[in-house]
Amino acid sequence: MSKQLMTDMALKSWHSTIKRTNAIFEDLSDEEMKREIAPNKNRAIYLLGHLAVVNDMMLPLLGLGETQFPNLVDTYLKNSDDPSKDKYTVKELREFWKTSNDALSEAFSKMTVDQWFEKHTKVSDEDFATAPHRNKLNVLMSRTSHVSYHQGQLILLK
């Protein structure tokens, strides 16, 4: 009962955070997406690719499947924003972002409550035995905070 409740809470928080962040992206024109959030800081187009790839990497981390966009890792995760090296257009990145959110929503909807309390794939059985908080639900909560962190930046463009 309390596991179900906690899972519901964390999922509600995830979905509402994604929804608000998505609304900001949708509200920004393709031109505005190329503006820096602050002088010499990331542009919104970079954050769009960044959030898409971090979403995408949640699939293997949660044992839900392979990544769909390994091609985004270098430009939008390993490196910081470089306006001279745009690998994809805003339109393409919007599509990757949508696909990554749809894939997660679909996969989450099929998970049982107990699965959320299993270890995530980057922690060993030994470590998990002494640190049971390193479960899949904790990944979801920490990724929700990560999206909020960047949402706070994106709102500056409004």
Q: Which position among 65, 70, 83, 152 is part of the footprint of a second copy (CB under 8 A)?
A: 152
Does residue 9 touch a second copy according to CB under 8 A? yes
Footprint (CB under 8 A) of a second copy, residues 19-48 = 37-39, 41
Eight-class DSSP state of 64: S
Q: Which position among 24, 34, 99, 117 is part of the footprint of a second copy (CB under 8 A)?
A: 117
The first and second tokens of residue 26, run together, are 């949708």
Least gap, CB of 17 to a second copy (angstroms):
7
Give the C-alpha distances (Å, rounded to integers) separating 102 from 106, 108, 149: 6, 10, 21
What string of DSSP letters covers 82-125? Answer: -GGG--S-HHHHHHHHHHHHHHHHHHHHH--HHHHTSBPTTS-H
Least gap, CB of 2 to a second copy (angstroms):
5
Strand, coil or helix: what is 66?
A: coil
Contacting residues toward a second copy, per CB under 8 A: 2-3, 5-6, 8-10, 12-13, 17, 37-39, 41, 117, 132-133, 135, 137-138, 141-142, 144-146, 148-153, 156
